[in-house]
Amino acid sequence: MKLKKQVTVCGAAIFCVAVFSLYLMLDRVQHDPTRHQNGGNFPRSQISVLQNRIEQLEQLLEENHEIISHIKDSVLELTANAEGPPALLPYYMANGSWVVPPEPRPSFFSISPQDCQFALGGRGQKPELQMLIISEELPFDNVDGGVWKQGFDISYSPHDWDAEDLQVFVVPHSHNDPGWIKTFDKYYTEQTQHILNSMVSKLQEDPRRRFLWAEVSFFAKWWENINAQKKAAVRRLVGNGQLEIVTGGWVMPDEANSHYFALIDQLIEGHQWLEKNLGATPRSGWAVDPFGYSPTIPYLLRRANLTSMLIQRVHYAIKKHFASTHSLEFMWRQTWDSDSSTDIFCHMMPFYSYDVPHTCGPDPKICCQFDFKRLPGGRINCPWKVPPRAITEANVAERAALLLDQYRKKSRLFRSNVLLVPLGDDFRYDKPQEWDAQFFNYQRLFDFLNSKPDLHVQAQFGTLSDYFDALYKKTGVEPGARPPGFPVLSGDFFSYADREDHYWTGYYTSRPFYKSLDRVLEAHLRGAEILYSLAVAHARRSGLASQYPLSNFALLTEARRTLGLFQHHDAITGTAKEAVVADYGVRLLRSLVNLKQVIINAAHYLVLGDKETYHFDPEAPFLQMDETRLNHDTLPERTVIQLDSSPRYVVLFNPLEQERLSVVSLLVSSPRVRVLSEEGQPLAVQISAHWSSATDMVSDVCQVSMPIRLPALGLSVLQLQLGLDGHRTLPSSVRVYLHGRQLAVSRQDAFPLRIIDSGTSDFALSNRYMQVWFSGLTGLLKSIRRVDEEQERRVDMEFLIYGTRASKDKSGAYLFLPDGEAQPYIPKDPPVLRVTEGPFFSEVVAYYEHIRQVVRLYNLPGVEGLSLDMSSLVDIRDYINKELALRIHTDIDSQGAFFTDLNGFQVQPRRYLKKLPLQANFYPMPVMAYIQDAQNRLTLHTAQALGVSSLHDGQLEVILDRRLMQDDNRGLGQGLKDNKRTCNHFRLLLERRTLGSEPGFFSKLAAMFRDLIFHSSRTNNLEVQDGHTSSYPSLLSHLTSMYLNIPVFALPVAKRQLPGPGLRSFHPLASSLPCDFHLLNLRTLQAEDDALPSAETALILHRKGFDCGLEAKNLGFNCSTSQGKDHALSQGQVLNH
């Protein structure tokens, strides 16, 4: 009691000081002369000053219950702490609901005004080219442009170059897909190795020759198979500028579905390989084939010290607009950048494709005549029926004039007299004859053109950086600087159409099974990197490195390269042939198994109380994983922990950099189970049945779930015993709704079960934050009511089916060409519903013919309890030309605006454009999408990349899977018929805005500080139409996404006879990192021996920008924020976004 009184008195004193401080602050604000100069609107007379001050104080005092409430909570928490750390023991209410008492520890969280500075920034000059605005204003017509079908006629005067010669750089290149029609290995064996072998000999024949290469994955494989003499020749070619490695990534990645962890990782892997083996550092980016472009890539390239980049696959209407306004070259700036620190110079290729017919100029019929691989007698020809002719003394003048005309026309689309002309295509230059045909014929043309001063042209072979260097020199700026008069652009280039209404929006969802497996591998790689780095550092410091399997580094390297390979723009996109997809799948699974081994070995070492006893035995691992996959195309099966008289131990790994409170669920062999903490304290657990189908309980397996507080980046130990603790082993109850179907439901005595044959009444689940209503008929979500609100918010779900067109052009792996609006999904039978209610979670499972939909509500304070956990197990293998969608309807007044993330790194506002076809309004969703109005925001978080849209106000719609029977004529030659049973995992978060009509105390406080700090900035980024081109998730949304994408790893101890004290929890951090910091990776770098680690580790940190306008009180966070400061946490890279 004494402590209670002390804390209460202390809290009251704090409150008094707070109110008095606010009074003084208001006094300062009223009399601050700078406020008057900055446009503050204050009364002049003493009476009105006093009146104004009193009114504000009254308003603050009216709302002081929030402070009192926080003080009261703190008193309760401190008192609970003082009386010992009891377990979270829920109790059952008379109304049938479970209540979990407040946590016995402080979890007060408040946002500092400084935290809001980044999201409220953007006070710099707006870019001239904002893609959001351009898309709204462009007509997107498709007028026939003549020879340049998607453009216009280009005219020029021969005297345009009298003052300054046209400088032409022809850039030979070969685009090598690391898997598409053939597997990576087959492409290498049959084509790529021959291209690179010929490159070495042919470039050495003439120092004027140049060549461009992008894919380090192929280059590294080739490097392993060539001799030292050839390696030395390659280094010379790189050194003298004849060979340029562009971008330097492991692959040329897809930019729609890839997560920024994987994008950075494949970039590091490629750059480190180049530095070690070639001593080369890429200067320019080259992305000719990704199907649309994200601004995340230019940001990463700029941070990797590249100064220039090139893109190609942009919507034809945007290309035409940029060409007509001389905007094809621009400084690409991040939407959230308030100055030019993120700028990178970007060149957009103007025409249809990166092949030779579409790169020399606007007329493909003429350009094709200068692709000398197509000389008569070869395997390919020109579709325009006019073949190339070898260049001779007799025809060189006529041929050079024809080519120069195309060069001149193309140059009129740009602002400088330096011209880039790529010369290549997919897997080109694979035979010596092609090298000879291209280089000899072009050199004759160059020699002729350069010998005629009256033509005012200088033409030569060049690399991409040769071109950019010449442009910078001509415009008088340093490499990477903005040339005078060139525009600045912000935004992205999604969604892409290459002709007519053929939008490449299908690949955002194609083959979702592997999109999900990609994210699983990513989470395992990050976890393995962190644990391996920590374990190796500890072992070396303790003199135990000889006992630790340092050789696991080779497994890490292989997994990095596998994840990198899968970021390729025909891999994660789901746009490769079936056999190639299977090859990717085998690689992904092999790396996943290897990473589990790395995690097991590191966790084993780190949890041992006595590290001297560590013994690495690959034949008998100390730990096992919680799940296994039998094949690359099957869903995981969870490990069942067999219980008997001996205790079993489980090690839990939290890969997050913040402490987390999560429900951990394990499968065990008996419902009679007790769970103890490391200290031997019994934990409250929820016991649930394990089901093999809608109506069949598994007799000898059940699920035990318990809330666990896990240390940041740490390992905890649990003990499982056979036995029953009536107070702490809490069974869950089950209701099964059969809707009139004659089905037998199996029972177990341990689990109360009620069968409802024909009930259709709506029902609700609830926790401390919300009450969630479901349809008794469909089992799907209907509405959410916050506990402190009277009104329910409509959040209802439905499944929909899209067909494809009856015309010649149909949906395929790339294209989404629906036959109209989606139609409701109508199952043959009504669904079986299963409702489970328990102390720590409750859930509704709806079994449909093609979908099993699960919505789970956790009854926990903090992140877990504030959102709905949802999963959709989809199986559409009996569909023909159909796509399955999930649509969420709300009463949010979104006004045609919605928001999707780019690569999990930033958020891009979108607007539904009625002038465009339905399929054009879909966008990639790697981690989240949301809609909002002045009061609420609804965010759908996803654990796998999928296509998303908002086709009507208040709606969010996601495509879950696609089954299509035909090719869509983009070169693949197959449909999408290899569907798998796929589980899509989501979190649905409904948040309330604090800047609405009745802002709370802390909102006003934050707004007051905002006014003091940013006199002219806008504080509300709600509406796209107001010119806001950036938006941010809330801090809660960021953490929700982390919980979803970075799950807890449960590692059962394989050996049963182990004394408890032998294992100890591992806490690598003295305290959690700030809530807005994310430890992206802790990546051990390789030593000179590729298979072993060096003593160096790369720490990559990301500080996240977040929207302060969403409610941030009573969220149960146990971490602070960085308060807008660059913390010197390490010498690692801080991704300031």
Q: How buried is residue 618: exposed, middle or buried, by Cβ count under 10 Å (0-12/13-18/19+)? A: exposed
Q: How buried is residue 223: exposed, middle or buried, by Cβ count under 10 Å (0-12/13-18/19+)? A: middle
Nearest to 88 by CA among 683, 670, 704: 683
Residue 282: its H or E element? none
Q: What region, left, alpha or beta, does residue 326 occupy, with left being phi > 0 and alpha being psi -120 to 50 degrees? A: left
In Å, what is the CA distance from 609 to each residue of 328, 614, 1059? 62, 10, 11
- Which residues of the chain carry a pLDDT beneath 70? 1-88, 92-97, 102-110, 121-124, 995-1028, 1056-1061, 1113-1114, 1116, 1118, 1124-1137
User: Which residues 6+ apart lie within 8 Å of 83 measured at CB?
Assistant: none
SS3 of residue 829 by DSSP: coil
d(CA 527, CA 530): 5
State residue 1123's pLDDT score.
Answer: 72
> Token pair for residue 965?
């029977």
State residue 295's pLDDT score.
Answer: 98
Distance of CA 592 to the CA centre of its chain: 19
State residue 2's pLDDT score.
Answer: 46
Q: How many CB atoms lie within 10 A of CB 276?
A: 12
State residue 54's pLDDT score.
Answer: 57
d(CA 393, CA 444): 9
Q: What amino acid is encoded at 38 in this protein? A: N
In Å, what is the CA distance from 433 to each residue of 189, 199, 367, 928? 19, 12, 20, 50
Q: Which of 177, 254, 265, 289 is catalytic?
A: 289
Would strands 832-837 and 733-737 be described as parallel, antiparallel, or unpaired?
A: antiparallel
d(CA 16, CA 418): 70
Would strands 91-92 and 936-942 be described as parallel, antiparallel, or unpaired?
A: unpaired
Q: How buried is residue 398: exposed, middle or buried, by Cβ count under 10 Å (0-12/13-18/19+)? A: exposed
Residue given tokens 């390269």 in the structure block: 561
Contact 256, 295 (CB under 8 A): no
Phi then psi for 1079, rounded to 5 degrees? -80, 100
Beta bridge partners of 223: none
Q: What does the DSSP 8-state code read for residue 1058?
A: -
Half-sphere exposure of 233 (CA within 13 A, CB side): 17
Query: 581-617: per-residue pLDDT in tens?
Result: 999 999 999 999 999 999 999 999 999 999 999 999 9
Per-residue 3-state assignment (H helix, E strand, C coil) for 129-140: EEHHHHHHHCCC
Per-residue 3-state assignment (H helix, E strand, C coil) for 887-902: EEEECCCCCCEEEEEE
Contact 853, 835 (CB under 8 A): no
State residue 264's pLDDT score.
Answer: 98
Nearest to 41 by CA among 1011, 1097, 1064: 1011
Q: How many CB atoms lie within 10 A of CB 805?
A: 13
User: Got the DSSP string for 474-499?
Assistant: HHT--TTSPPTT--EEES-B-S-BSS
SS3 of residue 149 by DSSP: coil
Residue 126: its H or E element? none
User: Which residues 6+ apart lie within 8 Å of 559 measured at CB?
Assistant: 521, 524, 525, 528, 591, 592, 594, 595, 598
> Token pair for residue 771?
């009450």
The torsion angle over the Cα atoms of residues 917, 918, 921 and 923, rounded to 10 degrees, is: -120
Contact 290, 313 (CB under 8 A): yes
Contact 831, 525 (CB under 8 A): no
d(CA 209, CA 55): 78
d(CA 664, CA 677): 13
In Å, what is the CA distance from 1098 to each residue of 524, 824, 851, 1081, 1082? 18, 50, 43, 8, 6
SS3 of residue 3 by DSSP: helix
In Å, what is the CA distance from 854 to each residue of 413, 492, 762, 930? 54, 34, 16, 21
As a residue count, the chain comes to: 1137
d(CA 1054, CA 617): 12
CA dihedral sign, ordered 1083, 1088, 1093, 1094: negative
Contact 439, 204 (CB under 8 A): no
Q: What amino acid is encoded at 724 in this protein? A: L
Q: How buried is residue 989: exposed, middle or buried, by Cβ count under 10 Å (0-12/13-18/19+)? A: buried
Beta bridge partners of 420: 169
d(CA 863, CA 1116): 7
Q: In the annotation, is 289 catalytic?
A: yes
> Token pair for residue 1013?
């700090």
Residue given tokens 């604090």 in the structure block: 994
State residue 118's pLDDT score.
Answer: 75
